[in-house]
Amino acid sequence: MKTKITVLLSVFLLAGFCSQISFAQAQEQKPQLFMIYDVVVKPAMVAGFEAAAKGEWALAVEGKSPYLWKTYSSDDLHYYFLTPMKNYADIDAMDKTSEEMRKKLGEERFKANDKAYDGTFEYLRIGFIYLRPDLSYAPEKTALKPEEANSLFWGLCYVESGKEAEFEKVFKEYVAEYKNKNIATGFTTYEGGFGTEVPFYFFAMSAKSIIEVFIEDEKATKMVGEEKSKELGNKMMGTLRKYEFKTGRYRPDLSYIPEVKEPVK
C-alpha cells in the first residue's frame, strides 16, 4: 500500500477524498503534518488484509525505509495508517524511496505483496491532517505508560463554514479548564487538510480500555463542573454541522517504526 503513493495521490487529487482518524499526545508546539490512509476492510477478509500489511512491514524492515507509519483500527473495520511529513514535498521523497526499495529488493516481491491486498478491502481514501498542540491537552503526570493507552475514542467534528475560529476558541477553553483543574486525562486535537471535509477537526482520548476512556471522561466532567462542562459542550455543538464518534485501538503489530530516529513520533 505504501508503495503506491504516486498513483493513489493522483486519484486523491481527482476525487477529493475524505479521511478521518486520530492519535498520540501532542508534544510539539507547532502544527505537524500527517498523511493518512483510511482503508475499509471487508469483515471476512480481516485476516488476509492484516497478513498483507505485515508483509509490507517486513519489506519496509528489510529495505530499511526511513518513513514510519502508525496503524490504528476502529470497531467499524476502518484501518488508519498515519505517516508524519515535514511538508507536502515529502510525497516525492517517499515515492523515490519506494522506487529505490523496489529495485533493491525486487519488483516481483512488491507486486506479490500488493496482490495480497486484492479483494480484502472495499476502498481506500487518502487525506492530510495537522496535529494542533494549541487545541490539545497533555497532563504533566499520568498513571498510564504510553504502551498501556492503546484503546481510543475519536470525536469527529464537522464544523460549519465560517465558524472555525469559534470552534477553536471553545477548545482552547477546554484546554484552560483541564490545565486549571490539573486533570489526569488528556486529549489530542487534529485539524483536517486536503482530502477531508473541511472545515473538519477531531480529537482523541486514550486509556487501557474503551470503558476506562468513558470513566476518565466522566471524572474530568465532574472536576470541570457539570454546569461548565454543559456550557462548553453546548458552545462546541453550536459550531458544528455534524458530529460523530468512533472507538478503536492502536495496532503496534501493524505499525512500522524505523531504527533511524525520526523527528516526529
User: How far is Cα 100 from Cα 146, in angstroms, rounded to an integer?
Assistant: 34
pLDDT tens column, 58-68: 999 999 999 99
Domain boundaries, the chain: 2-130+250-254, 131-248
Percent of the chain's residues with pLDDT above 70: 85
Class of domain 2-130+250-254: alpha beta
Residue 165 and residue 245: Cα distance in Å, rounded? 22
In angstroms, how far apart are the furthest CA atoms of the chain?
62
- What's the pLDDT score for residue 31? 82
pLDDT score at 146: 66
pLDDT digits (tens, 9 = 90+) for 96-120: 999 999 999 999 999 999 999 999 9
Q: Does the pLDDT of residue 69 top 80, yes or no?
A: yes
Confidence of residue 26 (pLDDT cuts 50, 70, 90): very low
- The torsion angle over the Cα atoms of residues 48, 50, 52 and 58, rounded to 10 degrees, is -150
For β-strands 200-207 and 70-74, DSSP reports them as: unpaired
Average pLDDT over residues 129-136: 96
User: Looking at per-residue confidence, does 238 or 18 come out higher?
Assistant: 238
From the number of C-beta atoms within 10 Å of its C-beta (0-12, 13-18, 19+), residue 108 rates as exposed
Specify the pLDDT at position 125. 94
Residue 143 pLDDT grade (very low, low, confident, very high; cuts 50, 70, 90): low
**What pLDDT was estimated at residue 7?**
32
Q: What is the mean pLDDT of residues 245-251?
A: 96
Determine the average pLDDT of the residues in 230-240: 97
Per-residue pLDDT tens digits for 164-216: 999 999 999 999 999 999 999 899 999 999 888 899 999 999 999 999 999 99
Query: For residues 2 and 202, which has the higher predicted lDDT (pLDDT)?
Result: 202
Q: What is the pLDDT of residue 19?
A: 31
Q: How far apart are the C-alpha atoms of 69 and 257, rounded to whole Å?
A: 7
Higher pLDDT, 43 or 7: 43
Architecture of domain 131-248: 2-Layer Sandwich (3.30)
Q: What is the pLDDT of residue 207?
A: 92
Looking at the predicted structure, is the pLDDT value of residue 3 above 60? no
